[in-house]
Structure 1
């Protein structure tokens, strides 16, 4: 019998005697979303109830809807609720609850996402869908993206032929045609997984593109002419111009440096990537931020500490919850940190800015940057906002002066050049190449310097047999002569190398396995390959003036280095680029055990122009003409 019951006269089934509600877990889950839906669409289905006496009714089926109604109208409201009354005892009412819970099947995810897409087609906005179904805006965008997948992808998902993560990866493809084409290709190659899809679509797994896009803002990047294929699930977006993206990151960080100096009174501020590796050892002034909490912040801090303590002591310890609370505590302290320093302290100290792993601005305050030891070192420093002009008074010479540090960005580029050179030289020695490969396969999984699953820097250029499927490659490999197989294995060994270093704290590129491999290669081959891979223009344009002068001194002599000291940094760099590489000079980071360049060898011949305005080509023509005349006279 269908009846209308005032909300205040309805009781939860689990509160009635022995309890007639079979659901225990998840009773309170998603009530807000359910309330939003009921508010938008009204009550569609009656609650199933039994008479509980004294005018009250107990709910056998619909207890979560009852909770939603109470959220909407209040527990003591007279709002009439549609119910279906069954005159049954507690046992039968419990069976009704259990039967409904077990037999009520949830929509398949594909059906749910298609339904959301249909709502959009009928004019519902993302905001309206989010409000109506109690979903976060990002959840709605994810659901709509999945609902818009091509019918081919959706059917494969519905049939269980692909997993949810595979379907999610296809949302990065531009349209249905692109999705279907890629799906057919990867099915044919038996390579249909999330990683392969993303690789085909251009996702670079080793770059934090998503982090950088989050930092500059997707709208801002698009406004500058960039295009983004947004990854709603892993945030590994695809961008059309990563050079533009990184330039925008640099611009924002530079503006932040200016703001810290001009608006907040810090003596200096610098981008972390521009600093030498030694900056982390610079003195840092510590402050107790808790002393600077406002009353409201103090209450908030105590509340968070209490929650963290409760999580730690709970029997069912929740690591993720503890991490979330810890992040909130750190965020609170970080927001107070800038005002914990006095104006007097700021006038003497500086800040270092960077992008954190979530795409947010990270600022480290209170860094005491050591003053430059000389005017030349001060001029050689990386650009910063508010750089202090202070210079240390000359100290007594007690030996070799410490050289300026290389930036972590330059260290990474040098390590790539070292890898390329080692690959070029290694494949000239088949015995060593195969030995390196065998040593890797015989060692543990994490072997520094060589990635024998062929994920090394040369992997993208490697095309061994031409097929995609293992079965086809096996057939092709078996058809090769033994010598040809050895030649291909040598190429694999070279492509498996990866000596990259990403930390400025690790500027010894030849330590560990990379050093062992490079030193084992024949020196003449390795030195030649290193000089071919070394990017002198990048190096001398990136290092401080002092390092350019040191290179000139080693390669061309102390007299020439002294002549260059009076010039500006760009002029010295241009001179070094034109004149140092022909001598065979290499930076210390690339000097193997068998290094045969300066200062071992002395430079010979005329020098190229030191002035950047005159191209190096013009300077190089003079000695070329003289060489041409001499043989003519001898004739």
Structure 2
């Protein structure tokens, strides 16, 4: 038997709270407007209780709306109700649940499209608002969403974008919406904030301090337009450039007014380059303002402010326990929150009134006029969008040019014999100091690679202390020594496993040598390691400790070999060349009138002859010059050349290329890290066997010894002649 429809007055029906799957107080204003306009489209569903009362199990929200309409005299009709046979509470609840689950809600897109169809059919916005019982702004928002580009609406239906993103799209015209959506290939591009930022690149949010400082009225009067965003509380300022100009003009005007009225020596804008150094300047002490000189009304306003803050504290004391309790009266909470908002608004009003009286200005005007005439005031925009004035700065002296930074400080100059005062040290450029630091790095690395014990000590120490010259976590091996040893390259095919197996099977002594070389690769004494505001910034004393630990004679040989005297004297001041000439035992005075190029050439030759090192390289470790063993065949100025060498014997002539290369390689490693471009008693030509093999297409395996590399050269074509020539 099918259920029958019965008619009842609204107040004869009871809402089924126990069986309703959506209990609680709900706003039904939308239903009130809809039923008033269209009537009740579907009967309610109810059941008879034991006391013959009709209890609604499906349609409680509609019943609530019908009762409101009845009480207002807008609908005095009976309510149709389908009565079901008596059933248990569980069965009744199941009916309520099924009705709500099966009643599929409209997707927002469908709803908003329907609003747009109403407007297109000739309905005015106000008529639609009245018809559905919503505000005019709600109608305009729904129409904007209903008129989104079709692709955007479809993306919303498909779940590709969310409602917040759809609202962000309403800022732009439909064609721009579609273009942006078509190019949005990454998830973050479909976030609401990203979409809004794309369409408002030139705009400034209304809440930003610069917008509040200029004000909407002044901006509008200057021809400024606003972003049409129906979902924003305040529209953004569309023309950021115009807003910036208006703010600058207003600040300039305020600066002129303050300068005229208060007679400061200078009034700067806060964004001026000079004003950014204010933290370096001293500041006058603001005088205390006597009570009788305070602007009228300031004391009263301060008392009001104090009382208002006390009232806010009292309201908070009442609200805190209500928030913590589950049985609190929601109406009381809302009343107290409203009271708190009113107090905060009153506090803002009092603060604004106090600032208008400007007691700060009155206090600063006590400063004598002659002091104000030498001081500076700075005007800017505060975080709250109001004019900010900082008074009483006194400019300091211009900052002196900072000393070039280096981890290799030169020793203090010593007074020459017979003189009372030491000469002023020569000031070197940052670039030249870095060149010397690079030279010291290369020389130290060259020696360190031959001393595994020192290298291991430096490695361990670098991991337990800050500021070490071993920079394992940097690009030190590329900016530092640049030695011709095995290293990772972008095109390397060596796998870690292969390298690891090679290393693990190496003799321990050989492995120690490899570790020493790689630690040497990681050295860096240059300014790149002098990190600003870092605990691990290179410390000069750390460099000094490491350099002092190296064998002195070997270290000095490496320094002399790595030092490019010709390039140094070309870049250094002329006085540095004269100092070197004097250090080498020559009379600097008789050469003082030479041109810089000639003087540099002379100093370079003497430096090569005497093993001269500049103060930055020798530090407190070495003397300026040292007589080192010479290489056969080199000519020292003032001495005759050696007699022609004896003819090479047949046995020597047929010495294997491997033996010749190995001997020269050993000599080279003992004497100097790399060849230098000037004649010197301390250098030899370095055989670049790796380069020869690379030209022949021969790959040098990781971990190859010198003997292995020489053997590869011997077995590749062409063989011995090239090796001997390279050697």
TM-score, normalised relative to structure 2 = 0.39
Determine which structure has more spread, i.e. the larger CA radius of gyration: 2
